[in-house]
């Protein structure tokens, strides 16, 4: 069986797409407070900077800057995923998920992309913030509550009406 290899660039910036096993689920917004607590605990124990994030009903997009000398984003996501899963009601699981002690809530893998330059960073931040509109959850970016977009507006980095006339953002983002 081939071994999956992830990019290891210490102290770099990465974009992620992390997805629930059931794409029709709304678990992440139903449990957003629990997710925020787990996320904060993991960030305190294994530091990283969240540049941008958006929590949607069935997936998360995030961009992290890892500390110098550290390229271990996989264990951080593992802790976040298991932390959210722990204590939730059991769901039907496949024999392989039972064997691996997985609850069956998350897809095993996630998409990561090492940010190459400032243009790539800006394009991915835009994608993260525009995603609730792309998926039809809202018609304006500002109306989605589970996004770092609001922090960008507060800091004067984006206008509250940003994204109003956009149709989509081109690229591969792991969905």
The string of pLDDT tens digits covering residues 6-25 is 566 655 899 999 999 998 99
- Residue 82 to residues 9, 61, 68, 77, 130, Cα–Cα distance (Å): 24, 17, 25, 8, 27
Q: How far is residue 46's CA from residue 75's CA, in Å, rounded to a whole number?
A: 9
Q: How far is residue 110's CA from residue 20's CA, in Å, rounded to a whole number?
A: 10
What does pTM read for this prediction? 0.84
Average pLDDT over residues 121-127: 94
Neighbours of 168 (CB within 10 A): 9
Q: Do 50 and 43 touch, CB atoms closer than 8 A?
A: yes
Instruction: Give the CATH fold of the 13-154 domain.
Output: Alpha-Beta Plaits (3.30.70)
Q: In the structure, what pLDDT confidence band is assigned to residue 159 with cuts at 50, 70 and 90?
A: very high
């Amino acid at each position: 069986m081939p071994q999956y290899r992830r990019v290891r660039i210490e102290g770099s910036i990465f974009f992620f797409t992390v997805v629930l096993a059931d794409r029709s689920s709304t678990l992440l917004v139903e449990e957003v407070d629990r997710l925020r607590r787990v996320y904060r605990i993991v960030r305190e124990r294994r530091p990283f900077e969240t540049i941008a994030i958006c929590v949607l009903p069935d997936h998360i997009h995030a961009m992290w800057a890892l500390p110098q000398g550290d390229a271990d984003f996989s264990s951080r996501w593992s802790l976040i995923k298991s932390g959210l899963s722990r204590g939730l009601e059991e769901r039907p699981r496949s024999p392989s998920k039972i064997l691996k002690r997985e609850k069956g809530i998350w897809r095993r893998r996630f998409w990561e992309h090492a940010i190459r330059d400032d243009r790539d960073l800006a394009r991915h931040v835009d994608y993260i913030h525009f995603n609730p509109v792309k998926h039809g959850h809202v018609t304006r970016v500002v109306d989605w509550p589970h996004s770092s977009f609001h922090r960008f507006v507060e800091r004067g980095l984006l206008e509250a009406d940003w994204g109003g006339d956009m149709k989509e953002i081109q690229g591969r983002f792991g969905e």
